Amino acid sequence: MPINLKKLELLEIDLLRKHFEEFCFPFACDFSYERQVPLTGLLLLSGEICFFKNKKLIGSVQPGFLLGVHHLINLVPNRFRWHVKKNSNLLIIPKSELLIALDDHKSQVFPLLKKLAG
């Protein structure tokens, strides 16, 4: 079962870092569940996120991958549970801030988010 992810370039990551907040997770946790529309988008900066379906490990991603923006905008539920590994650094993209940035056509981040949300 393929996992649709977007790998970002360094310039895209730097642009998003200027607009959204970075968090370090000192413990492992489930971030989003199967059949749930995620509450935020995530950009993995360091560490690892694993995907589970029915408690079975399906895959994982390494730094530089963006998750959930398409799900948030289009209200698409996850097919997998997202498990963030201990000491992972994530850029959190809340839905409210994402929608504000998408409404502001003059924003520096607008073209990138428009492309990623599609």
- Report how far residue 88's alpha carbon sits from residue 96's, in angstroms, rounded to the nearest whole number: 23
What percentage of the chain's residues is helix, strand, coil (to nearest 5)? 30, 35, 35
- State how far the Cα of 68 lies from the Cα of 55, in Å rounded to an integer: 20
Mean model confidence pLDDT for the chain: 90
pLDDT tens track for 101-116: 889 988 888 888 888 8
pLDDT tens-place string over residues 9-40: 999 999 999 999 999 999 999 989 999 999 89
pLDDT at residue 73 is higher than 60: yes
User: With respect to CATH, is domain 6-117 assigned 2.60.120.10?
Assistant: yes
Q: What is the pLDDT of residue 1?
A: 46
β-pairing, 56-61 vs 88-94, is unpaired
Which of these, 77, 64, 69, lies nearest to 9 by C-alpha position?
64
